[in-house]
Amino acid sequence: MNIQRINELTQISRERELTPEEQAERQKLRQEYLQAFRSSFRQQLDHTVVQYPDGNKVPLKDVNKK
Per-residue pLDDT tens over the stretch 6-63: 999 999 999 999 999 999 999 999 999 999 999 999 999 999 999 999 989 998 888 7
- The model's pTM is 0.73
φ, ψ (nearest 5 deg) of residue 53: -55, -30
Segment (H or E) for 57: strand 57-59
pLDDT in tens, 20-31: 999 999 999 999
The residues near 12 (Cβ < 8 Å, ≥ 6 apart) are 18, 22
CA distances to 34, 36, 41, 47 from 3, in Å: 10, 11, 17, 26
